[in-house]
Amino acid sequence: MTAVAEPEVGRARRRKEDARLITGRTRWTDNLTLPGMLHMALLRSPVAHARITSIDADAARKMPGVLAVVTGADIAEEQGSLPCAWPITEDMKAPEAPAMAVGEVNFAGEVVAAVVARSAAEAVDALEAIDVEYDELPVVLDMTEAIADGADLVHPDLGTNKSATWVYDSAEAGSGGAIDDAIAQADVVLERTFRQQRLIPAFMEPRSVLVDPTGEQITVWSATQIPHILKWMISAVTGVPETKVRVIAPDVGGGFGGKLQVTPEEIITFLLARKLGKPVKWTESRSESMQSAHHGRDQIQKITLAASSDGTLKGLKVELLADMGAYLRLVSPGVPILGAFMFNAIYKMDAYRFECTNVFTNKTPTDAYRGAGRPEATFGIERMMDELAAELGRDPIELRQQNWIKHEEFPFTTVAGLTYDSGNYEAATAKALELFGYDALRQEQRERRERGDKVQLGIGVSTYTEMCGLAPSRVLGALRYAAGGWEHASIRMLPTGKVEVITGTSPHGQGHETAWSQIVADRLGVPFEDVEVLHGDTQSSHKGMDSYGSRSLAVGGTALVMAADRVVEKARKLAAHMLECSEDDVEFSGGKLKVRGTDKSTDIQSVALHAHVAHDLPDGMEASLDSEATFDPENFSFPHGTHLCAVEVDTETGQTKIRSYVSVDDVGVVVNPLIVEGQVHGGLAQGIAQALFEEAVHDESGTLTTGTFADYLLPSAADLPSFTTDRTETPATTNPLGAKGVGEAGTIASTPAVVNAIVDAVRHYGVNDIEMPCTPMRVWKAIHTGERAAGGPGDEAGGGLGSIDASGGAQ
């Protein structure tokens, strides 16, 4: 007997991906250079809403090194309309969405013209020689005003700024009672309006596209999360047969939903490369990215929570306005709908109604951003639970405990109609409370209040769940999403015993190369080092639905398990032939295939070679162990957890400092704890940043005033605390790995924990809400003016001030 090797799944393997990333041997799209490659630069509208009356590009065409200057009118025929894959209602209004504006612009940053030149510098120089005249139109910015009678219209031909209204009503759906009855019968009815500010995904690698039209297939390298969807959509939009398009996502520097898009720039680069017959590259500047890559969140949430005086929840009514911006991008309309099933969260209640109206404005289109719909929902309900606790004079944890689904009640069908397969909210909460030192912090909070300390302590709670592992195709179909939610994997057993894994997921920082190797190493009993994971190139990975929605492991990892099991099935059959025994007598374990009860054995590498040379195969067997599988889950997965945040609020300045942050997440079975912990850390940072720092602000003319990293405030290491993270583990029952997904959990959970903590710190000043981001000024004003919801006074950006003023001298 040989010792059983330590299982790979569950091991904190250091990442395979790191070697190239820490030494600078990277293949970001912008690093690639092809022979004869040209560079593209884009002229963008400086105004938010206007008719284009003329474009004079003659001077630009004559500039040195310029090969082409193209306007929307020039490519109107070929460019088609950018895809929106999620028409949420039958009567949803969707405007034409040209990649390059034709005749009118609808947000500041929309592409108006493109220059292709020998060098990037020459292309940018020529932009300045293009003269565009705009006839400005009224600008629509505010959602509430946009849907009022007589409002100016973003798209006059649609006759309204409302794109669609989507409703879920538990009485109509049969998943619960009528909300009006619940409200009428409740002892306590709380109503609050929260604003989810507009955010910018702000992946670190700016977007870049390189298109090479010189081969038989047009090859597109793009900094994208979705090479497979992009390939399909490029074909759908341009009419080029899908067989003639190859998409490669090389090293991709972060996405967070921001690269889940079929962008105008990808289509324009594609068309111009094809037109010129030369490779063309476009790489955006950060300010272009801020202005034109899709934004996230941006909702107004009116929430009504009904409860009895003993704290039992009765019903929840959610009325949302969601800002789509000027156009519907790939999944824009569906983002708020992903929240529809999550406002009720982990709580039991009798009735639920969700109503969301998607609204057009003259702003950058919004779309997926880490969590997409679920952070908004979690924020809404978790803020309300703290408000209800305050209203009833109850401890916020105890109130949640009273209402949440008990661990013995799983599987549990919620008032929103979803069936949660597993969970243990009690265990996660108990662990979090212990790590946090809840009672001691509450004691300190009381003491600080009593002595009127200038620094007040607040404690915020967030007991969240989310639906991820997107997703069952049939559910997506029922929600009118145009694509499926399956995932594909295949395994190539090479003659040397090495293993190539091809996955349809498209990692951009998540570490799939490592985690997938661990899964396969366990499943096939081969060394971790012998597994190579191929991804992101539609030529090798021909089939996939890519990475977003915390789906890769739960869906793509499962496909991989299935493919590996099929390899073993084939190997078992061939081994029986090789070892001259019945297939039923072959035991497979740790890479060995052994005849039961004997010492006769072989290993999977030998079997793979045997299959490959194919000299002696059983009748009917094909010459390979290679296998593939496609997995379509029957349900979402439901990670959950308890996050506790303690903040110190300086009441003199309004500044918030996070004193401690504890998260206990249950993301199911963990393949690699190192990677999972990293995902949680990063998710927390983004969720905390929404609470404290980030906001995309437009001025009254629709200009983005937070258009650089000097104004759009991302936290640095100096602005964040150390987190205490831990886990509980309740396996998902809907996939063989038991995995739930971790990509979005930290972001979904943390925002309300922080805001709840801030409000808790200053509630005794009469404050019951502070708008996000909770800037020092907003917090101070809330304390000192007793404003219920202290918003900012202006729409001007402040971070950069004059730091990049043109009139400045040298420093």
Partner 1 sequence: MIPAAFDYVVPASVDDAVRELHDAGEDAKVLAGGQSLLPVLRMRLAAPSKIIDIGRIPELKGIRDEGDHLVIGAATPHHEVQKNQLVRDHALLIALATETVADPQVRHLGTFGGALAHADPAGDLLAPALALDAVFVVAGMDGRHEIPASEFFVDYFTTALRPGELLLEVKVPKYTGWRAHYEKFNRVAQAWSICGVAAACRVDGGTIAEARVGLTNMSSVPVRARAVEQALVGQQATAEVIKAAASHAVDGTLPTSDGNADAEYREHLAKVLTERAVTAACS
Partner 2 sequence: MRITTTVDGTSYTDEVEPRMLLVQYLRERLGKVGTVVGCDTSNCGACTVHLDGQSVKSCSVLAVQADGREITTIEGLADDGELHPLQQAFHDNHALQCGFCTPGMIMQALDLLKENPDPDEDEVRSGLEGNLCRCTGYQNIVKAVRAAAEQMPSAARQADVPQEPVTASMPSEVSQS
Interface with partner 2 (CB under 8 A): 14-15, 17-26, 28, 30-31, 121, 202-206, 251-254, 256, 285-287, 508-511, 674-675, 677-679, 681-686, 708-710, 714, 716-718, 720, 722-723, 746, 800, 803-804
Closest to partner 2 by CB, 31 vs 606, is: 31
Residue 799, classed as helix, strand or coil, is coil
For the bound state, the minimum distance from the C-beta of residue 757 to partner 2, rounded and expressed in Å, comes to: 18
- Tell me which stretch binds partner 1 (CB under 8 A): 74-82, 119-127, 178-186, 414-422: 119-127
CA–CA gap between residue 41 and residue 282 (Å, rounded): 7
Q: Dump strand ranges (E) for 417-471.
A: 419-420, 455-465
For the bound state, the minimum distance from the C-beta of residue 811 to partner 2, rounded and expressed in Å, comes to: 10
Question: For residue 122, what are the CA distances in angstroms to 38, 283, 343?
Answer: 10, 14, 51
For the bound state, the minimum distance from the C-beta of residue 721 to partner 2, rounded and expressed in Å, comes to: 9
Q: Which does 811 bind (CB under 5 to 8 A by kind): partner 2, partner 1, none?
A: partner 1
Evaluate whether 583 touches 567 at the Cβ level (below 8 Å).
Answer: no
Residue of 417, 715, 721, 731 that binds partner 1 (CB under 8 A) = 715
Evaluate whether 62 touches 140 at the Cβ level (below 8 Å).
Answer: no
Residue 165, classed as helix, strand or coil, is strand
Q: Which does 805 bind (CB under 5 to 8 A by kind): partner 1, partner 2, none?
A: partner 1
CA–CA gap between residue 487 and residue 545 (Å, rounded): 6
CA–CA gap between residue 81 and residue 101 (Å, rounded): 11
Q: Which residues contact 447 (CB under 8 A, 6 or more apart)?
A: 453
Tell whether residue 417 is a contact of partner 1 (CB under 8 A).
Answer: no
CA–CA gap between residue 218 and residue 664 (Å, rounded): 47
Q: Which does 781 bind (CB under 5 to 8 A by kind): partner 1, partner 2, none?
A: partner 1
Tell whether residue 65 is a contact of partner 1 (CB under 8 A).
Answer: no
Neighbours of 616 (CB within 10 A): 9
- 92 backbone φψ class: left, alpha, beta (φ>0; ψ -120 to 50): beta
The helix or strand, by DSSP H or E, that contains position 689, with its residue range, turns out to be: helix 673-692
Residue of 91, 478, 718, 722 that binds partner 1 (CB under 8 A) = 718
Q: Which does 797 bind (CB under 5 to 8 A by kind): partner 2, partner 1, none?
A: partner 1
Site map (CB under 8 A) of partner 1, residues 674-703, x = contact: -------------------x-x-x------
Tell whether residue 791 is a contact of partner 1 (CB under 8 A).
Answer: no
Q: Which does 2 bind (CB under 5 to 8 A by kind): partner 1, partner 2, none?
A: none
Closest to partner 1 by CB, 766 vs 794, is: 794
Closest to partner 1 by CB, 123 vs 489, is: 123
Positive or negative CA dihedral for 241, 242, 244, 250? Answer: positive
Evaluate whether 294 touches 329 at the Cβ level (below 8 Å).
Answer: yes
Give alpha helix (H) positions in 37-71: 58-61
Cα end-to-end distance, the chain, whole Å: 72
Q: Which residues contact 17 (CB under 8 A, 6 or more apart)?
A: 507, 511, 513, 514
Q: What are phi and psi of 700, to 5 degrees?
A: -65, -15
Tell whether residue 197 is a contact of partner 1 (CB under 8 A).
Answer: no
CA–CA gap between residue 322 and residue 195 (Å, rounded): 10
Tell whether residue 710 is a contact of partner 1 (CB under 8 A).
Answer: yes
For the bound state, the minimum distance from the C-beta of residue 714 to partner 1, rounded and expressed in Å, comes to: 7
Q: Which does 798 bind (CB under 5 to 8 A by kind): partner 1, partner 2, none?
A: partner 1
> Amino acid letter at 365?
P
> Amino acid letter at 429?
T
User: Within its chain, how far is the Cα of 706 from the centroid?
Assistant: 21
> Total binding residues for partner 1 by CB under 8 A?
48
- Tell me which stretch binds partner 1 (CB under 8 A): 415-423, 541-549, 601-609, 713-721: 713-721
Residue of 28, 714, 729, 763 that binds partner 1 (CB under 8 A) = 714
Site map (CB under 8 A) of partner 1, residues 283-302, x = contact: --x-x---------------
Q: Which does 128 bind (CB under 5 to 8 A by kind): partner 1, partner 2, none?
A: partner 1
Summarize as ranges the residues that interact with partner 1 (CB under 8 A): 120-121, 124-125, 128, 285, 287, 652-653, 655, 693, 695, 697, 705-706, 708, 710, 713-716, 718-719, 775-777, 780-781, 792-811
